[in-house]
Amino acid sequence: MKISMQQFFTITITVTSILFFIVYVYTENPSHKTHLLSLPTKDYEGDINSTNLNFIALEIRKNREALESIRNEYAKNIAEINNRLDTLSANTTNNTAEIIEENEDQDLQAIHDFENAIAQEQEQFEEELVDFTWAPKAEVNLEVGLDELQQELSFELVDSQCRTTRCNATVVFENYALAEQYGNQLAEVSIPGLNCAQSISLPQPGDTSAGYQANLLLDCSQQVLGNVQPTY
């Protein structure tokens, strides 16, 4: 059976109290002396018993003081351990908060950079002139490819345009949740007749339950230059 430190101190103090009681009874009632100590020399029984009692009382006092010292030292060590644990916990919490904050800052920066890249793509598309030798056929391929995906990806094609090396398709989702769910898939699908770098921006609106409009941007410059072949 294991005895805790608290139980150990309790037992020790109890035993010490009993010993003090025995000493008290022995001192106050001489009739009990013969039951407690059996001394070899009757002539010096009183002196020897008195010496023994003083010795016992002194030892008990010393033991009790030693136990109190051990108990205080134990309590001090426990307090120091708790302080260290509190410090460690506080440092861990602070470090975790710093890491989370740093990751959030990095995520926000990545989103900001992506939105800037999309904005630049949109500007470049709007600045391009229409190449009538390429744009009409590219628009047909884009409309046919997206029309086949409307039901699968839960969007409606509103408009599609192609210029010299870029195309832009405007789509509408029923709400922002559907845009989040299917928007990125739309940017990754292959459109027959085209082989373009596709991107879409899905910033969160104020009203997430309302219809959500997004622009699918296609950079087909590598296909126009003949560096890649159209997909079929």
Give the pLDDT confidence of 2-58 residue by residue, as tens digits. Answer: 445 555 556 666 656 665 555 555 555 554 444 444 444 444 444 556 667 777 777
Residue 99 lies in a domain: no
Q: Same domain for 33 and 84?
A: yes
Q: Same domain for 134 and 86?
A: no
Q: Same domain for 83 and 136?
A: no
Which of 196, 140, 189, 193 is CA-nearest to residue 166?
196
Q: Same domain for 88 and 9?
A: yes
CA distance 202 to 127: 23
Domain CATH code at residue 178: 3.30.1360
| Domain range enclosing 69 | 5-94
For 45-77, letters b (16+ CB in 10 Å) and e give: eeeebeeebeebeeebeeebeeeeeebeeeeee
CA atoms within 13 A on the CB side of 167: 29
SS3 31: helix
Of 94, 114, 147, which one is at a domain's C-terminal end? 94
CA atoms within 13 A on the CB side of 69: 6
Residue 122 lies in a domain: no
- Surface-to-core class of residue 222, CB atoms within 10 Å of its CB (0-12 exposed, 13-18 middle, 19+ buried): middle
pTM here is: 0.54
Residues 6 or more apart in contact with residue 83 via CB below 8 angstroms: none
**pLDDT at 214 exceeding the cut of 90:** yes
CA distance 196 to 198: 6
- Give the pLDDT band of residue 142 (cuts 50, 70, 90): very high
Mean pLDDT, the chain, whole residue set: 80
Residue 139 lies in a domain: yes
What domain count does the chain have?
2
Q: Same domain for 85 and 140?
A: no
CA-CA-CA-CA dihedral for 26, 27, 31, 33, to nearest 10: 50
Residue 207 carries which DSSP code? -
pLDDT score recorded for residue 39: 41
What value does the mean pLDDT take over residues 53-74?
79
Main-chain phi, psi angles of 175, to 5 degrees: -155, 175
Residues 6 or more apart in contact with residue 63 via CB below 8 angstroms: 12, 16
Percent of the chain clearing pLDDT 90 (strictly above):
44
* Tokens matching residue 199: 């991107």
